Chain A
Amino acid sequence: GENVEQHPSTLSVQEGDSAVIKCTYSDSASNYFPWYKQELGKRPQLIIDIRSNVGEKKDQRIAVTLNKTAKHFSLHITETQPEDSAVYFCAWTGGGADGLTFGKGTHLIIQP
């Protein structure tokens, strides 16, 4: 699959502050952009996703924005809490049968 660039690789924020993670993709045919959260020793779990006909989607403290022209999408977490500490992966699919391609992950650390 095509590459997904995910930044930053590590992000440390104070509890209560916001966190933003950005991913850039290369295939203009991509149409589905999920974000996964993985806690230590656990499986990745979907936290939010967005499709190419939508620019923004929100679910309580979590939001995802998509800029198809610039080929990037971002995860925004507001009012961060200790339980937000985890590794977050972006992913995208270009419509092919091979499914999702994942970024390399961002380790989010919430400082008390």
Chain B
Amino acid sequence: NAGVTQTPKFQVLKTGQSMTLQCAQDMNHEYMSWYRQDPGMGLRLIHYSVGAGITDQGEVPNGYNVSRSTTEDFPLRLLSAAPSQTSVYFCASSVSSYNSPLHFGNGTRLTVT
């Protein structure tokens, strides 16, 4: 049982490049989400999904896209990377959105130059 798996662990992009952060979970969780973590800012929600085929925006969605074609996978796409997107990104999943704990992946450290 791997839990939540994120790839890659580290990534360096140039401004304007695009890329996809991968996230997969094997716990059959309906709810999945993406957070970014910046120093002194805590964890801020980018996008979330309550099930396959359903996605919605969180607190800081600009510059990011998501899709949820299967229960297991929830990739995060950066459309045109900007230095302001330099951050650590965490994918997380849980049984439900409202009263169960989040299980986090190990994170992706992204640097945009």
Interface residues of A (CB under 8 A from B): 1, 6, 9, 31-32, 34, 42-46, 49, 51, 89, 93-105
Contacts of B107 in A (CB 8 A): 43
Interchain Cβ contacts under 8 Å between A and B, 8 examples: A6-B42, A43-B104, A89-B42, A93-B99, A99-B48, A102-B35, A104-B42, A105-B40
Known: A1-B45, A32-B98. A98 touches B58 (CB 8 A): yes
Q: Which of B35-61 contact A (CB under 8 A)?
A: 35, 40-45, 48, 50, 56, 58-59
Interface residues of B (CB under 8 A from A): 31, 33, 35, 40-45, 48, 50, 56, 58-59, 90, 94, 97-102, 104-107
Q: Are B59 and A1 in contact (CB under 8 A)?
A: yes
The distance in angstroms between the C-alpha atoms of A43 and B109, with both chains bound, is 12
CB distance from B63 to the nearest CB of A (A): 18
Known: A44-B43, A89-B42, A104-B41. A99 touches B104 (CB 8 A): no
The distance in angstroms between the C-alpha atoms of A104 and B33, with both chains bound, is 18
The distance in angstroms between the C-alpha atoms of A32 and B31, with both chains bound, is 16
Q: Are B98 and A43 in contact (CB under 8 A)?
A: no
Q: Are A31 and B90 in contact (CB under 8 A)?
A: no
The distance in angstroms between the C-alpha atoms of A44 and B56, with both chains bound, is 23
CB distance from B87 to the nearest CB of A (A): 14
The distance in angstroms between the C-alpha atoms of A98 and B60, with both chains bound, is 12
